[in-house]
Amino acid sequence: MVLVEYNSKNLKEILNKRSSQIVLRGAGTLGKLVLNGLNQHSIKVDCFWDDDKKKQGKIYCGLKVLNTKEILDNYNNANIFICSNYFSILIPELLKKNFKNLFDCYQIIKSTDYSKIINRTKNEIHNFGDIHNNSPFNQNPIDIDRVLDLHLTGLKTQNSQNYKDDSTNNFNVKYIDLVITERCSMKCIDCSNLMQYYKNPENATFESIKKSVDIVMRCIDYLSEFRVIGGEPFINKNIGKVINQLKKYKNLSKIVIYTNGTIVPKGYNLESLKDDRVSLDITRYKTNIHSLRNHEKLVNLLNQNNINYISHTADKWTDSGRIKKYKRTENALKNIFLNCCVGDVLSILNGKLYRCPFSANAHNLNAIPYNEDDVIDLFDNTDLKIIKSKLIKLYTRKDRSEYLTACKYCKGRDFNAPEIPAGIQTKEVLENPKFT
Ligand code: SF4
Ligand code: SF4
């Protein structure tokens, strides 16, 4: 067992025995939660450590964000809290650099009373409320249970033999994108789900969605989050039926609907949202009049009906909305896959399951060569055992550094990728380059 076992009672003693220094690997939401948790347990943290160049050298939550060289020079024996869910990438990297005192964040977050800090105002550095100042350290309003659940599932789904944590051998998955429509009410020229390439976009039928989800959920022991997406998911009038279907799965923790806020649901579709396990993730786009106009209407309606949601304004995106053929070495391809921030978001689209959203849409558009190792046709095989073994193989690819065919045609989505303005609208459909 590589990660140090601890609980909130013995943590201070364990930390003291190992090292006097504490570093948080990851200056994001998890890092902020852990910092507050450790402070509440009277444990002092030295600094953050983050690979994002935009964060390095800056102050985050009152602490300096250092780069790898600075950490190796000054904190090479520190206690490291892995404030990220990318265990399968970070643990081998930390071990290679000879760090021995590695901690996950589960127990510390679980034992912290965040009610004491959750209502802080916008201007406070430990703010957990709304986005402020469009700074690179923006925090979405967070649902701590959701963050914690994803962290735990991240722990359970790291698959390397050396640090396998899940003795039950259960197959746990963090996220699955469920694409219920190729249609969108907006036309973003840089949409990372490649909506700008669809000439005749269509809604998925309820029957196809139900059948796919049913097969997948029978192969998985536990899923943290179904992310219902599109295009714009509220365009599909069957969204309420889909949500009510998802609620039936006991092995599913959360259902999150990702919307651009242009469509305000009503009737049966609105009713389906009234459930503790359901929430909306609303992106407000300054570039689209409907997103701006309906945002307030939508938020008011959700408040009136006590429906969970978070809302944020999109300003910057990573530049990942084009299908192109890139010249890359084997090593570069492996790296692009390993460092990808959506490389473990499985996607269901039109009866098939893919490893990432780009692979899903590029295949669906018939724009890249079909690789049967990258795609599971859920309707092709009636034997669940075969589907499950393919699913496990697809989901554990990062551990084997087996990049996808799609990675040859994708710009990549690591945290240091160049940023572009979000939500620029177009009237044109982009030419499908068809590398098939
Ligand atoms: S709102 Fe823009 S980014 Fe979102 S799915 Fe539609 S086209 Fe893509
Ligand atoms: S194709 Fe590769 S690099 Fe692009 S999003 Fe998918 S996993 Fe990431």
CA 18 to CA 311: how far, in whole Å? 41
Contacts of residue 16, defined as CB under 8 A and 6 or more positions apart, other chains included, come to none
Q: What is the CATH number of the domain that holds 318?
A: 3.20.20.70
| Residue of 177, 186, 263, 312 to mutate, ligand 1, most atoms within 8 A of C-beta | 186
Which numbered ligand comes closest to the C-alpha of 285? 1
177 lies in the same domain as 144: no
pLDDT at 434: 94
| Per-position b or e across 196-205, b if 16+ CB within 10 A of its CB | bbbeeeebbe
Q: Which atom from ligand 1 is nearest to the alpha carbon of 285?
A: 1
238 within a domain of the structure (yes/no): yes
In a domain, 434, yes or no: no
Q: Are residues 41 and 145 in the same domain?
A: yes
Same domain, 129 and 35: yes
How many domains does one find in the chain? Answer: 2
In Å, how far from its chain's centre is CA 116? 27
- Tell which atom from ligand 2 comes closest to the C-alpha of 406: 1
Spell out where 252-294 has E strands.
252-259, 278-285
pLDDT, position 105: 92
**What's the gap in Å between 424 CA and the centre of ligand 1?**
10
The residue whose CA has the least distance to atom 5 of ligand 2 is 358
Contact in structure between 176 and 407 (CB atoms under 8 Å): no
Task: State which of 93, 119, 151 marks the end of a domain.
Answer: 151
User: Does residue 289 sit within a domain?
Assistant: yes
Distance 410 CA to ligand 2 centre (A): 6
Could you tell me if 178 and 131 lie in one domain?
A: no
Q: Is the CB of 217 under 6 A from ligand 1?
A: no
Query: Does residue 6 lie in a domain region?
Result: no
Decide which of 124, 151, 178 is a domain's last residue.
151
Q: Are 368 and 197 in contact (CB under 8 A)?
A: no
Residue 240 near residue 409, CB atoms below 8 Å: no
Instruction: Return the structure tokens found at 381.
Output: 């095989």
Q: Which amino acid is at 143?
A: D
Distance in Å, CA 422 to ligand 1 centroid: 10
**Domain for residue 26, yes or no?**
yes
Any ligand 1 atom below 6 A from CB of 231: yes
- Rounded distance from Cα 125 to ligand 2 centre (Å): 33
Residue 5 lies in a domain: no
87 shares its domain with 136: yes
- Domain limits for position 62: 11-151
User: Residue 376, SS3?
Assistant: strand
| Ligand 2: centre distance to CA 406 (Å) | 6
Ligand 1 pocket member 233 (CB < 6 A): no
Q: Chain-centre distance of CA 26, in angstroms?
A: 15
Answer whether residue 2 is part of any domain: no
User: Which CATH number characterizes residue 98's domain?
Assistant: 3.40.50.720
What is the chain's pLDDT, residue by residue, as a tens digit (436 residues)? 589 999 989 999 999 999 999 999 999 888 988 998 898 889 999 999 998 888 899 988 889 999 999 999 999 999 999 998 878 778 878 988 999 999 999 999 888 877 666 544 444 444 454 333 333 333 445 567 777 877 887 777 664 333 334 445 778 888 899 999 999 999 999 999 999 999 999 999 999 999 999 999 999 998 989 999 999 999 999 999 999 999 999 999 889 999 999 999 999 999 999 998 898 989 999 899 888 899 999 999 998 998 888 787 888 888 889 999 999 999 999 989 988 878 778 999 999 999 999 999 999 999 999 999 999 999 987 899 999 999 999 988 877 779 999 999 999 988 667 789 999 999 999 999 999 8
Q: How many CA atoms lie within 13 A of 378 on its CB side?
A: 21
Question: Do 225 and 319 lie in a common domain?
Answer: yes
| Single pTM value for the model | 0.80
Residues 123 and 88 in one domain: yes
Give φ, ψ of 420 to 5 degrees: -130, 160
Q: Among the three residues 116, 151, 186, which one is the final residue of a domain in this structure?
A: 151
Provide the angle, in degrees to the nearest 10, between the axes of the packed helices 239-246 and 206-219.
Answer: 20
Tokens describing residue 139: 């925090």
